[in-house]
Chain A
Amino acid sequence: MPKPHLLLLAALLAALGISHFSDQIDPYYLDVMTGIGINVILAVSLNLVNGYTGQFSLGHAGFMSVGAYLAAAVSVFVGPKFLGEDSGSALQQGLVFLAALLVGGTAAALAGLLVGVPSLRLKGDYLALVTLGFGEIIRVIFQNVEFLGGALGLNGIPAYTTPFWVLAFVAITIFIVTCLVHSTYGRGFLATHDDEIASEAVGLDTTRYKIVAFVVSAFFAGIAGGLYGHFKLTITPTGFDFTKSIEIVVMVILGGMGNTIGVVLAAVLLTLLPELLRPIAEYRMVLYSFMLIVLMIMRPQGLFNFKYGKVKL
């Protein structure tokens, strides 16, 4: 990839440019685009674990909920004290939002560490199941924390999510994941994916690599959660159940695991698909699941993976 730093800078500038015109775009399209952006962040970050490192995690929605709740708590409970009566200037709001997102991301990363250290000793289906279990446990805990709204969810989150923030974090996520994987250190992720035993034999600490992948991935899931909370303005624990995790996993797999561009395309397509199928109302999810099965049978290497053979599953 030529000069990734320049590309990141260009993407951030583009984000700033596009957000300038955001009030001229139809609100419905803006909503769909925000949804796409959040899903891209989720899918690209999960791809680091499920695709590049080859570990099967089904708990991504759990980390997303940690980020969503913590970020919302910051801007609901701490934000007003900082902003004062008149809810502050746009810059101040932006700073509060950035702080909230970083708190959410860090908390999710800590949760990732907490979950990853014991469970990453397990392999394959067992790992999938334990991460699924942790995701469900996180959900039940949030259902029981009255301070954060309990089962009814947390309401009245300020609408801080703008196209700028979404695009900026999409760019940052793709940048960091790509650079990480293509760095010297990052070859270890691919080695862990390709053959764990051989990697250990040449002295790579595969457990450490798995944990790093897990923590980085959880961090961005937390960021995505924060963006989601300040976009929907209300979050409930049931919105982050394992169906949501599966939705993200499906994006990664359809994108061709360990293929960032493919995963981005799959995230875009799978967010658009239910919207495009809206005219046929009740049959749309039936069709969606049917297409999922057919795609898996017809193109097991992923819909957007054109380099089959190079990236071995």
Chain B
Amino acid sequence: MSEFLQQLLNGLSLGAIYALIALGYTMVYGVLRFINFAHSDVFMVGAFIGYYVGKLVPEGTLWGGMIVLIASMVGCAILGMTIERLAYRPLRGAATLNVLITAIGVSLLLEYSGQVFFGAAPRTFPQIFPSANFSVGGLVISTNQLAVILVAVLLMIGLQFIVYRTKIGTAMRAVSLNPKAAQLVGVNNDVVISFTFGLGSALAAAGGILYALNYPSIDPLMGVMPGLKAFVAAVLGGIGNIPGAALGGLILGTVETFVNGSQWSTYKDAIAFAILIIILLFRPAGLLGKFTVEKV
């Protein structure tokens, strides 16, 4: 039983990270209807910004950790908005496939530039937050795991607030519902899309820092697998749906951790995609998504 709870805790902390990345995918999909492949590399850049800023602040202090987290989120928000401005905006209105390939191009560009500038060898991520392990009734809980869950929950509450309680959030939902109609009632679509990219990228950066805290080895290709799985999580929950992305991330992280702890551990990378395929075949709109009938 305690082993089950331990795995559940590990799974939830991994799932919280997937959820943070998935939110960025789902928001961009909501406003622009394309898979932003570069998102997983923004996640990687987030971890690297954390690595460099982490060297400047004293290790193991709460305020130092917060500075690292915020610096990385701001840095990635700027990166995300820059990518959108330079690569995606010229293609507004082009075929989805072209935008998709551009996204793949941006993703490759970030990965290969990362290998040139950061070096391809993995690095050890500093312990930026104070860390300790304590056991509760046979469970080993690390403060890093708690930090992951706490930060993720706070960010998701913040996101929920922005999307449902602020003017720009309302504009975001309007654009995702119908971009043309939103423009007609005076929403500046470009600003909203830019903001969405900034917000999503900041969440990915937070995900990157939290991931690096728990799996303290970072390299320029670290984003590929978590990125793919986070996208699966977004689809699982119903793409374009914010609570769905969070739910999908948690489910995926938990299932993957349990598979990893079982005798089928070598199949853990396949399990995410198996879940995805089953979901799409039986409930194509995802768990929380609404199924819409295509009209001619």
Interface of A toward B, CB cutoff 8 Å: 56, 118-119, 121-122, 124-126, 128-130, 132-134, 136-137, 140-141, 143-144, 197, 242, 246, 249-250, 253, 257, 282-283, 285-286, 288-290, 292-293, 296-297, 300, 313
Q: Complex Cα distance A293/B99, Å?
A: 9
CB of B105 within 8 Å of the partner chain: yes
Structural contact, B104 and A128, CB atoms closer than 8 A:
no
Q: Complex Cα distance A275/B127, Å?
A: 42
List the 3 closest pairs (A to B, CB-CB), nearest first.
A133-B273, A289-B108, A292-B105
Residues in B with CB closer than 8 Å to A286 are: 109, 112-113, 116
Stretch in contact with the other chain, from B87-95, B139-147, B209-217: B87-95
* Choice from B112, B235, B272 contacting A126 with Cβ under 8 Å: B235
Stretch in contact with the other chain, from B10-18, B57-65, B276-284: B276-284
Residues 122-135 of chain B, each 1 if its beta carbon lies under 8 Å from chain A, else 0: 00000000000000
* Choice from A130, A140, A141, A296 contacting B98 with Cβ under 8 Å: A296
* Choice from B35, B91, B280 contacting A297 with Cβ under 8 Å: B91
CB of B34 within 8 Å of the partner chain: yes
Q: Interface on chain A toward B: helix, strand, loop, or mixed SS?
A: helix
The interface size bin for chain B is 35 or more
Structural contact, B98 and A137, CB atoms closer than 8 A:
no
In the assembled complex, the CB of B93 is this many whole angstroms from the nearest CB of chain A, namely 10
* Choice from B105, B284, B296 contacting A197 with Cβ under 8 Å: B296
Q: Complex Cα distance A124/B29, Å?
A: 13
Q: Complex Cα distance A283/B113, Å?
A: 8
Structural contact, B90 and A297, CB atoms closer than 8 A:
yes
Residues in B with CB closer than 8 Å to A293 are: 87, 102, 105-106, 109
- B86 closest partner in A (C-beta): A293
Question: Could you show 30 A-B contacts with beta carbons less than 8 Å apart?
Answer: A121-B281, A125-B34, A125-B96, A126-B280, A126-B284, A129-B276, A130-B277, A133-B274, A133-B276, A134-B273, A136-B228, A136-B273, A140-B267, A141-B270, A144-B266, A197-B294, A246-B104, A250-B104, A253-B101, A286-B116, A288-B112, A289-B106, A292-B108, A293-B102, A296-B91, A296-B102, A297-B87, A313-B95, A313-B97, A313-B98
Residues in B with CB closer than 8 Å to A143 are: 266
CB of B48 within 8 Å of the partner chain: no
- A127 closest partner in B (C-beta): B280
Q: Complex Cα distance A246/B104, Å?
A: 8
Residues in A with CB closer than 8 Å to B34 are: 125
Q: Complex Cα distance A164/B91, Å?
A: 43
Q: Complex Cα distance A141/B109, Å?
A: 30
In the assembled complex, the CB of A244 is this many whole angstroms from the nearest CB of chain B, namely 13
Tell whether A288 pairs with B108 under 8 Å between CB atoms, given A130-B277, A296-B102. Answer: yes
